[in-house]
């Protein structure tokens, strides 16, 4: 079964503005993902099913270009357009 946060994010993400996404991340205690929008940061995310699903949603929205697991620390790295 999907996580409730993931299900809601999948529903709202396609039509939500960046501001709305940021508000939703704050409301759901997923502030760590705010770094996706900070061009000065290169965040890493724990290797969890929820994080992978959220990163996939960001990729589908075009907020990131890709994500992959780092072989050294096992965390997800993201790639963004600069």
Q: How far apart are CA 39 and CA 72, in angstroms?
A: 23
Q: How far apart are CA 24 and CA 27, in angstroms?
A: 5
Mean local confidence (pLDDT), 6-11: 87
pTM of the model: 0.88
Write down the domain spans for the chain: 17-79
What is the pLDDT, as a whole number, of residue 25?
93
What are the tokens at 25?
């991340």
Each residue's pLDDT tens digit, 15-34: 999 999 999 999 989 999 99
What is the pLDDT, as a whole number, of residue 82?
65
Is CATH 1.20.1660 what the domain over 17-79 is classified as, yes or no?
no
Question: What residues form DSSP beta bridges with 46?
Answer: none
What are the tokens at 70?
């780092």
- Confidence check: pLDDT of 9 > 80: yes
Question: Which uninterrupted H or E stretch holds 26?
Answer: helix 18-27
Residue 30, CA distances (Å) to 6, 25, 36 in order: 11, 5, 11
Mean local confidence (pLDDT), 54-63: 95
């Amino acid at each position: 079964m999907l996580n409730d946060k993931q299900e809601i994010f999948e529903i709202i993400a396609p039509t939500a503005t960046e501001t709305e996404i940021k508000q939703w991340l704050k409301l759901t205690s997923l502030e760590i993902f705010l770094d996706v929008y900070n061009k000065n940061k290169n965040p890493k995310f724990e290797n969890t099913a929820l994080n992978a699903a959220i990163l996939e949603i960001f990729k589908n929205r075009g907020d990131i270009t890709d994500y992959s697991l780092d072989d050294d620390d096992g965390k997800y790295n993201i790639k963004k357009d600069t």
